[in-house]
A = this chain, B = another copy of it.
């Protein structure tokens, strides 16, 4: 997949593509961000904090798994350092954090949010490397959430 073939499919010249896209990385980041922003939030109002967190994570993983190739492509892309990629990276990270905080309810414990964020990033990384499928990712994260949340219900 080259920027030029993307431009061609879009019926547009490469030069035009580059007026909208700073880079190939930016393209992937933008697509991923739009996909993410459009996902529904897990509801899971009736359950323990652990259950709510597991529901939030499952919902995220499921949404991301809808477009596995996009998820794979975005992982290296987000490591780029165009200003546009920087912007989207922050937004995407904030999106994750927001969901985790919501699952934790009022006064979320910062180290807890941190642990979830790092574990989730790590899972995305490992899936992006092909070390896990997204189905495995869901299962492993379920157990990991249980470990992290241990002693935090009520």
CA distance A151 to B125 in the complex (A): 28
Q: Residue A143 contacts which of B114, B117, B146, B150 (CB distance < 8 angstroms)?
A: B114
Q: Is A81 engaged at the interface, CB distance under 8 Å to the other chain?
A: yes
Q: Residue A144 contacts which of B78, B118, B120, B126 (CB distance < 8 angstroms)?
A: B118
Q: Is A140 engaged at the interface, CB distance under 8 Å to the other chain?
A: yes
Q: Residue A118 contacts which of B81, B122, B130 (CB distance < 8 angstroms)?
A: B122
The answer to whether B79 and A128 touch across the interface, beta carbons within 8 angstroms, is yes
Q: Residue A119 contacts which of B75, B115, B150 (CB distance < 8 angstroms)?
A: B115
The answer to whether B140 and A114 touch across the interface, beta carbons within 8 angstroms, is yes
CA distance A125 to B75 in the complex (A): 10
Quick one: which of A72-129 are within 8 Å of B by CB? 75-76, 78-79, 81, 89, 93, 109, 111-112, 114-115, 117-126, 128-129
Q: Is A147 engaged at the interface, CB distance under 8 Å to the other chain?
A: yes
Q: Is A45 engaged at the interface, CB distance under 8 Å to the other chain?
A: no
Known: A117-B122, A144-B115, A147-B115. A79 touches B89 (CB 8 A): no
CB distance from A122 to the nearest CB of B (A): 3
Chain B residues positioned under 8 Å from A147 (CB to CB): 109, 111-112, 114-115, 148
CA distance A121 to B75 in the complex (A): 13
Q: Is A6 engaged at the interface, CB distance under 8 Å to the other chain?
A: no
CA distance A45 to B125 in the complex (A): 32
CA distance A120 to B140 in the complex (A): 15
Question: Which 3 A-B residue pairings sit nearest by Cβ, starting from the closest?
Answer: A122-B122, A121-B122, A118-B122
